[in-house]
Amino acid sequence: MSARDVVITGIGLVSSLGEGTDAHWQKLSTPGTLPVLDAERFAPYTIHPLPEIDWSLQIAKRGDQRQMETWQRLGTYVAGLALADAGIKDNEELCATMDMVVAAGGGERDVAVDSDILAASAQRDDFDVLLNEKLTTELRPTLFLAQLSNLLAGNISIVHKVTGSSRTFMGEEGAGVSAIETAAARIRSGQSTHMLVGGAFQTEHPDMLLGYELAGYLHRGEWKPVWQRQGAEGGGIVSGSGGAFLVLESREHAEKRGQRIYATLGPVASGRARRGRDELAAGINRLLDTVDATETGLLAISGASGAHKATAAEKAVLDARTDIAARAFSTLTGHLKEAQFPFAVALAALAVSNKAPYPPFEAGEKAFDGSLKSVLATTIGYHHFEGAALVSAAD
Amino acid sequence: MTKFKDHLGRPVVAVTGIGVVTSLGVGKKDNWEALTAGKSGIHPITRFPVDQLNTRIAGTVDFLASSSRGASALTYELAETAAGEAVAEAGLAIDDFGGPLFLASPPVELDWHDRLALYKGGEREPASDRLLEVARNLNSLEMFDSSQFASIADRLADRFGATGLPITLSTACASGATAIQLGVEAIRRSEAQRALAIGADGSATAEALIRFSLLSALSTSNDVPEKASKPFSKDRDGFVLAEGSAALVLESLESATARGATVLGIIRGCGEKADDFHRTRSKPDGSPAIAAVRAALADAGLGEDGIDYINAHGTSTPENDKMEHLSLSTVFGEHMSRIPISSNKSMIGHTLSAAGAIEAAFSLMTMREGIIPPTINYDNPDPAIALDVVPNVKREARVGTVLSNSFGFGGQNTCLVMAREPV
């Protein structure tokens, strides 16, 4: 134990399963919970949709809500949940000195405008001029801001007054890994005392599916759990809308203000295995070594996406460690892209704090009755980058 | 004896390699010659038609192989070119950098021409379904790679042999400075002996231009492009969209000294503060910018009398230049009358995600060369902004310390303090 241990004191979660830590713990710790799926709206793709959300619970001003599209609203909302959970929301002094790292993709483009441009292109051979005509007359200025990656953090500053510092990392799952790794490193080194870190993903937009499907990564046909998609039609990923934010603090900072601690965030490891050279399995093993996942009998909250190659590599590594019981939460939430690693760490913290494991999320996952002193969280990117962390009991 | 630890006991961070590309040219030599000659890189746009556009000028980089191949390809080439120059200058193996990579780059979306190609590849309606259907049958990863935010850094990490998971970041117009800050922090935490910090932006597409136009952020002084960017002038009417890149090899002074590398300067302090006022406007009292400058000075262990020159954010928008003046006057008080301040953007325009890195590179060169690049187009001073802007002509000066400001859209403010020599 050290004053500069990184502890988790706030968790904000939203997924198709609901919102908040209690709703997620309830559903995920109950055996046989079924996923919430929408197989119609984006057929042939299945997605896990957002639950109904009353945005005004975390974003009081209608004017602020109007300045955002769903992705930024979602992230700002989840960040608010985390701040409230940590007892920091509306605490002006703590928010003004709080550092923030957001893992962000992009926001939603205007589908109507884009489709209109494409439709008009059939009658024109001067596409670039057409583009100018349409974009200058049809784009809404606010929508541009709603698309900007760094404006999720910008909106969190505006709505929740988190202004110590604001950084946005981009780049799919790796952004979430780096965000947590950097935040933890800053606290451990004394560069920061309390941080807000996390991300959100809103998959219910054709461009968000396109981001996967340009490489054929999406699962098609009948829905299956994460580990059972090998060989099925499509690329294996079923995406979901949701987000996860964590409040990380130095132990000293949290204890001084008497804040409940969920868990300690132990070592965080990140990597960039050269997958073209078949180095992913070795890379995953290296991550496990780095976070010192040596305890015998370990629960692993896996961020496996279902993407065939990456998920097969992760499965092989975890299967080889016969004492590890993996829980691929995307079976129940869908793949949350930038939010995937923060979500994995959050679920690990909930298990540690509740001193109870999750039941298998699908038939192929084995039972677990070992110690919950430490829980492993992994996220192996569907295309590149990977990370892991060990989350341990607070005391 | 050289001190390897700073006033807070952290490793001192040196710069041992610099690379830069702007509309003025490739490499430090060409850029520095043009910059000190007061030459502008702003020109009429030829990359795409300008029909219907209110702004028809930019500081695009039109002379690279990827200049017409889309924002993702150009951003990569800009980053690679600058990093290549920096790593070579540092005397390190070009493919075995051996430290982490931090890349500031724009959030590039799928290029319109790719979107159109997908559309033309199928029949299905609606269009969004058609794009997905065509996309999943593509036999190439080229389009996919250009749509993944991590791809550019991934390729750069391969190219230069950077270690670990490369970080791609965006803090809007402060991104380049944030990339440097992340590198500095990694070295200060002793996670790395050296780090490669790059800011690159090749995203001056028609849509980007139109979006900024819709926010009334751009200059419409199309008739004489080289005169359009006029920071601190009374008739300034917006920034000029531009492209470019810069890379710094950051290295602990101890490591640089041990291997006999030439120290080009020191990154002495970083400061940041986010604004909670508005998505595109800064807080009227300037308090976030003021706090960012003060945080950088404190981090550097310097007082308000410790800065010899300020490399301004100086975008040439009515709002920024006014707020920057307010913030600096508040922090530096009467010292401000003797601190020269100039805006590189008067010549290269606003390179957005790359700006903080490019301006840090030029700040380091300012100290080394003992020459302050001017603020050009300063023909009509704004009487409300009383600053020594080094008007129109370069100035020889002994500059030991520089403050470089980056104030981002979306409220992200980052300031860097650099020094010519270690303490």
Q: What would the mean pLDDT of A211-222 be, rounded to a whole number?
A: 97
- Would B3 be classed as within a structural domain? no
Chain A residue numbers with beta carbons less than 8 Å from the beta carbon of B189 are 185, 189, 191
- Would B5 be classed as within a structural domain? no
Whether residue A193 contacts residue A165, with contact meaning beta carbons closer than 8 Å, is answered with: no
B133 with B181, same domain: the answer is: no
B120 with B177, same domain: the answer is: no
Chain A residue numbers with beta carbons less than 8 Å from the beta carbon of B210 are 132, 135-136, 139
Where residue B121 falls (left for φ over 0; alpha for ψ -120 to 50; beta otherwise) is: alpha
B240 with B134, same domain: the answer is: no
- Are A165 and B274 an interchain contact pair (Cβ–Cβ within 8 Å)? yes
State residue B104's pLDDT score: 98
The answer, for B211 touching chain A at a CB cutoff of 8 Å, is: yes
Alpha-carbon distances, residue B39 vs A90, A193, B341, B371, B392 (angstroms): 50, 46, 18, 15, 10
Q: Where residue A246 falls among pLDDT bands split at 50, 70, 90? A: very high
Q: Where residue B410 falls among pLDDT bands split at 50, 70, 90? A: confident
Contacts for A306-309: CB closer than 8 Å, 24+ residues apart: A306/A219, A306/A226, A306/A229, A306/A236, A306/A237, A306/A238, A306/A330, A306/A335, A306/A382, A307/A217, A307/A235, A307/A236, A307/A237, A307/A382, A307/A383, A308/A229, A308/A230, A308/A235, A308/A236, A309/A275, A309/A280
B24 with B74, same domain: the answer is: yes
State residue A143's pLDDT score: 82
CA A68/CA A71 separation, integer angstroms? 8
Taking only the tens place, the pLDDT of each residue in B119-166 is 999 999 999 999 999 999 998 999 999 999 999 999 999 999 999 999
Q: DSSP letters along B83-131, please?
A: HHHHHHHHT--TT---S-EEEE---PPPPHHHHHHHHHT---SSHHHHH
B81 with B130, same domain: the answer is: no
**How many other β-carbons are positioned within 10 Å of the β-carbon of residue A323?**
10
Active site residue B278: no
- Would B343 be classed as within a structural domain? yes
State residue B183's pLDDT score: 98
Q: DSSP letters along A140-160, please?
A: -HHHHHHH-TTHHHHHHHHHH
Mutate to test the interface with B, among A98, A133, A214, A270 (most CBs of B within 10 A): A214
**In terms of Cα–Cα distance, which of A149, A162, A11 is closest to A99?**
A162
Taking only the tens place, the pLDDT of each residue in B168-201 is 999 999 999 999 999 999 999 999 999 999 999 9
- Are B135 and A158 an interchain contact pair (Cβ–Cβ within 8 Å)? no
- Are B274 and A213 an interchain contact pair (Cβ–Cβ within 8 Å)? no
How large a percentage of chain A has pLDDT more than 70? 100
User: What CATH number should be reported for the domain holding residue B156?
Assistant: 3.40.47.10
Which residue of the set B7, B43, B113, B173 is catalytic? B173
Alpha-carbon distances, residue B107 vs A75, A106, B102 (angstroms): 17, 7, 15
CA A228/CA A237 separation, integer angstroms? 11
B42 with B184, same domain: the answer is: yes
Chain A residue numbers with beta carbons less than 8 Å from the beta carbon of B129 are 206
Q: Which of B98, B125, B145 is the last residue of a domain?
A: B145
**In terms of Cα–Cα distance, which of B183, B105, B157 is closest to B355?**
B105
Task: Search chain A and give the residue with CA nearest B274.
Answer: A163
**In terms of Cα–Cα distance, which of A45, A380, A84 is closest to A212?**
A45
Give the pair of three-digit tokens for residue A379: 């996220």
State residue B79's pLDDT score: 98
Give the pair of three-digit tokens for residue B46: 């030829």
Active site residue B43: no
B133 with B269, same domain: the answer is: no
Interface of B with A in 126-185 (CB under 8 A): 126-129, 131-132, 135-138, 141, 143-144, 147-150, 153-154, 157-158, 164-172, 175, 178, 182, 185
- Would B7 be classed as within a structural domain? no
Taking only the tens place, the pLDDT of each residue in B8-25 is 999 999 999 999 999 999
State residue A395's pLDDT score: 79
B123 with B95, same domain: the answer is: no
- Would B8 be classed as within a structural domain? no
CA B334/CA B329 separation, integer angstroms? 8
User: From the list B48, B112, B164, which residue is nearest A272 (CB)?
Assistant: B164
Chain B residue numbers with beta carbons less than 8 Å from the beta carbon of A154 are 274, 279, 410-412
Q: Where residue B408 falls among pLDDT bands split at 50, 70, 90? A: confident
Burial class (CB in 10 A: 0-12, 13-18, 19+), A149: buried
**In terms of Cα–Cα distance, which of A21, A9, A68, A2 is closest to A343?**
A21
State residue A141's pLDDT score: 83
State residue B202's pLDDT score: 98
How large a percentage of chain B has pLDDT more than 90? 97
B27 with B131, same domain: the answer is: no
ipTM > 0.85, yes or no: yes
Q: What would the mean pLDDT of B217-237 be, rounded to a whole number?
A: 98
B218 with B351, same domain: the answer is: yes
Q: Where residue A142 falls among pLDDT bands split at 50, 70, 90? A: confident
CA B362/CA A237 separation, integer angstroms? 46
Global pTM exceeds 0.80: yes
State residue B280's pLDDT score: 84
Interface of B with A in 348-407 (CB under 8 A): none
Task: Give chain A's length.
Answer: 395
Alpha-carbon distances, residue B412 vs A49, B288, B326 (angstroms): 32, 9, 17
Give the pair of three-digit tokens for residue A187: 């606290």
> Which residues, 6 or more positions from B117, have their beta carbon under 8 angstroms from its beta carbon?
none
- CA of A377 to nearest chain B CA: how many angstroms apart? 17
- Give me the domain span that covers residue B247: 13-108+149-419
Say if residue B281's pLDDT is above 90. Answer: no
State residue B423's pLDDT score: 83
Whether residue B157 contacts residue B139, with contact meaning beta carbons closer than 8 Å, is answered with: no
Average pLDDT, chain A: 97
Taking only the tens place, the pLDDT of each residue in B327-382 is 999 999 999 999 999 999 999 999 999 999 999 999 999 999 999 999 999 999 99
Which residue of the set B270, B325, B350, B415 is catalytic? B350
Q: What would the mean pLDDT of A75-104 be, rounded to a whole number?
A: 98
Q: What is the DSSP letter of B393?
A: S
**How many other β-carbons are positioned within 10 Å of the β-carbon of residue B140?**
9
Q: What would the mean pLDDT of A322-331 be, rounded to a whole number?
A: 97
Say if residue A307's pLDDT is above 70. Answer: yes
Where residue A172 falls (left for φ over 0; alpha for ψ -120 to 50; beta otherwise) is: left
CATH level 2 (architecture), domain A6-107+148-392: 3-Layer(aba) Sandwich (3.40)
User: From the list A174, A206, A384, which residue is nearest B128 (CB)?
Assistant: A206
B205 with B301, same domain: the answer is: yes
Count how many domains chain B has: 2
Torsion over CA: B168, B169, B175, B181 (sign) = negative
B28 with B95, same domain: the answer is: yes
- Are A136 and B53 an interchain contact pair (Cβ–Cβ within 8 Å)? yes
Query: What are the residue boundaries of the structural domains of chain A, listed by start?
Result: 6-107+148-392, 111-142
Residue A51: asked if its preceding bond is cis (omega within 30°), the reply is no
**In terms of Cα–Cα distance, which of A78, A242, A55 is closest to A156?**
A78
Task: Give chain B's length.
Answer: 423
Active site residue B113: no
Say if residue B405's pLDDT is above 80. Answer: yes
- Are A127 and B188 an interchain contact pair (Cβ–Cβ within 8 Å)? no
Q: Which amino acid is at A327?
A: R
State residue B1's pLDDT score: 56
B13-22 and A386-392 as β-strands: parallel, antiparallel, unpaired?
Answer: unpaired
Task: Search chain B and give the residue with CA nearest A154.
Answer: B410
Chain A residue numbers with beta carbons less than 8 Å from the beta carbon of B272 are 165-166
Task: Search chain B and give the residue with CA nearest A387.
Answer: B165
Taking only the tens place, the pLDDT of each residue in B55-110 is 999 999 999 999 999 999 999 999 999 999 999 999 999 999 999 999 999 999 99
Lowest mean pLDDT among A262-266, B88-92, B274-278: B274-278
Q: What would the mean pLDDT of B194-218 be, rounded to a whole number?
A: 97
Burial class (CB in 10 A: 0-12, 13-18, 19+), A81: buried
User: From the list A119, A151, A178, which residue is nearest B279 (CB)?
Assistant: A151
